[in-house]
Structure 1
Amino acid sequence: MSHSLQGKTAIVTGSSRDIGRAIAEGLAADGAAVVVNYVGNAKAADDVVAAIVSKGGKAIAIRADISNVSDIRRLFDEAESQFGDLNIVVANVGVAVIKPLVEASEADFDLVFGTNARGTFFTLQEAARRVRDGGRIIAVSTGGTKMFFTQTALYLGSKGAVEQFVRVLSRELGPRGVTVNALSPGFTDTDLLPERDRAVAAGMSPFGRIGAPRDVADVAVFLASDEARWLTGENIQAGGGVA
């Protein structure tokens, strides 16, 4: 552990797998006490906690459905009850429905915007209320909002909203020394990237590969650190040079 985040506490939503897990593990490795949030897979969340604890870190798992505002508030209540004052919140939860805009149903819209936009909005709201002065708030978006893809209107639209939330909140919390940034992964080895697209995605990066969750997580850990104190209201692209 580098211990640069020693004494800090963090919530990472959607952190039982993929990028969220890597962020939770990265924050813990730097000394933060981490709340691992999950909604459906308790075993996966417990595995993350066990991995962190086995390396000398501190973590607990808390179930909360980020599309439910009362669950969000309970998540923060329980986190404070367990770890005290909060310093870092990473709003990482995201879902995708991939289909042409003309085929998207009301249920599809409600699922994606209810989780990615509404859920993130109220996570950011609670973070703004609870994070201590000088804290760090990070919202995970996507490099896709800078590109043009078919069948992604719901996903990219919801993430575009997240980026605007970040810009506004950074201004509102600046007087308290709280930084608020978006982190936008590119093509990354997660469940959201179909197998059929991986070779093409790798070819779009100068590095000739898709990203690993750790590649993105290391940027998140930097944004949570004191070294990132002069960055706020930014959308940090973590896409391996894909543009």
Structure 2
Amino acid sequence: MADHSIQGKVVLIAGGAKNLGGLIARDLAAQGAAAVAVHYNSNSSKAEADKTVAALQELGAKAVALQADLTRAGAVEKLFADAVAAVGKPDIAINTVGKVLKKPMVEISEAEYDEMMAVNAKSAFFFIKEAGRHLNDNGKICTIVTSLLGAFTPFYAAYAGGKAPVEHFTRAAAKELGERGISVTAVGPGPMDTPFFYPAEGQDAVNYHKTAAALSPFSKTGLTDIEDVVPFIRHLVSDGWWITGQTLLINGGYTTK
């Protein structure tokens, strides 16, 4: 029977420098991951990536930071090749990359649309593709999407619309890679208390989101805290391997399907 523990496994995390990705990296290292490749997008995130790498090394994991613009297929291919060269073939590949745009459809430009689709859909497609090519058998692939996939709401057409294709990428990859024992999942957190959330929202919207989840009164911020998402990621990439082809909304009762 396959070993689905995290102990001794090699991990690649896209967007792993900070926030949710950085916490996932630290959590998996604390659970015994042997090596973690931490991807970051641009020079503005390099210091955070280096800080995360240092924290992982303190936890006993081999760690490396790798920069790439994942909106280009060739860059995703190179990221996996560089990760394999640096830390070995991954057993676990997690993609936390995303970009938020809150704007009425009638105001969204073609350039904005193209950027949102490139960051949220294209990068996810090629990340899953390269994970399928490079992961060891019995590996795990997980993509972060959004709980807005279960919402009936205005202004997020380009963001939620860009994440929506990942649900089918996940289903298709789960079917195609299942014969190798690879599970493929997506996780849609609710609005998260991170620096990415607040610039996209006005104060009235922030106040609404902080009270919108059924369990908001029991959250320290009212929002989805990254600490509440990480245990589900840990489960999906280990003992929860039997869940595949699914999108799980982790949001304290913010939305459902």
Which of 236, 249, 257 is 1:237 aligned to?
249
1:48 aligns to what? Answer: 52
Task: Please point out which of 193, 207, 228 is paired with 1:215.
Answer: 228
Does the Cα contact within 8 Å between 1:25 and 1:52 map onto a contact in 2?
yes
Instruction: Please give the per-residue CA displacement for 1:111-143, whole angstroms capped at 9, x wherever unaligned.
Output: 110111111101110001111110000011100
Q: Secondary structure at the match of 1:7?
A: coil
How many angstroms apart in 2 are the aligned matches of 1:237 and 1:156? 13
- Shift of residue 222, structure 1, vs aligned partner: 1.0
CA contact (8 A) 1:8 1:86 kept: yes
**AA in 1 matched with 2:213:** S
Structure 1: distance between partners of 2:188 and 2:30: 22
- 1:27-66 superposed matches below 5 A: 27-32=28-33, 33-40=35-42, 41-66=45-70
1:158 is paired with a residue of what secondary structure?
Answer: helix
Query: Aligned with 1:219: secondary structure?
Result: helix
Aligned length: 240
Q: Which amino acid aligns with 1:8?
A: K
Q: Determine if contact 1:9/1:88 at 8 Å carries over to the other structure.
A: yes
Alignment partners' CA distance in 2, 1:119 and 1:229 = 23
Q: 1:189 deviation in Å?
A: 0.7
Unaligned runs of 5+ in 1: none
2:171 to 154, 167, 171: 167
Is the CA contact (8 Å cut-off) linking 2:40 and 2:66 kept in structure 1? yes
Q: Percent identical across equivalent pairs?
A: 35
Question: If the length of structure 1 is used for normalisation, what is the TM-score?
Answer: 0.94
Mapped to 2, the partners of 1:156 and 1:174 lie a distance apart of 27
TM-score by length of 2: 0.89
Q: How does 1:106-117 map to 2 (within 5 A)?
A: 106-117=110-121
The 3-state SS of whatever aligns with 2:138 is strand
CA-to-aligned-CA distance 1:132-174 (integer Å, 9 cap, x gap): 1100000111000100222110001111011111011111111
Q: Is the Cα–Cα contact under 8 Å of residues 28 and 58 in structure 1 kept in the other structure?
A: no
Give 3-state SS (helix, strand or coil) of 2:65's partner: strand
Is 2:88 the counterpart of 1:80? Answer: no
Q: Deviation per CA, 1:6-34, whole angstroms, max 9, x where unpaired? A: 22111110111211111111111111211
- Kept in 2: contact 1:198–1:210 (CA 8 A): no
Deviation at 1:36, TM superposition (A): 0.8
Partners of 2:58 and 2:173 lie apart in 1 by 36
Preserved contact between residue 53 and residue 64 of structure 2 (Cα < 8 Å) = yes
* Structure 2 counterpart of 1:206, one-letter code: A
User: Aligned Cα RMSD in Å?
Assistant: 1.5
C-alpha distance in 1 between matches for 2:241 and 2:18: 28
Which one-letter code corresponds to 2:54 in the other structure? Answer: A
Aligned with residue 89 of structure 1, among 73, 90, 93: 93
* Corresponding position: 1:200 with 2:211: no
- Which residue of the other structure, out of 156, 161, 164, is the alignment partner of 1:152? 156
Q: Are 1:118 and 2:114 counterparts?
A: no
Q: CA deviation at 1:63?
A: 0.5
Q: Does residue 135 in structure 1 map to residue 143 in structure 2?
A: no
The separation in 2 between residues aligned to 1:109 and 1:97, in whole angstroms, is: 9
**Residue 101 in structure 1 maps to residue 114 in structure 2:** no
* 1:44-85 per-position Cα deviation (integer Å, ceiling 9, x unaligned): 110111122223333210001111111111111111111112
Counterpart contact for 1:35–1:61, Cα < 8 Å: yes
Native 8 Å contact 1:28 1:59 kept in 2: no
C-alpha distance in 2, partners of 1:144/1:131?
A: 29
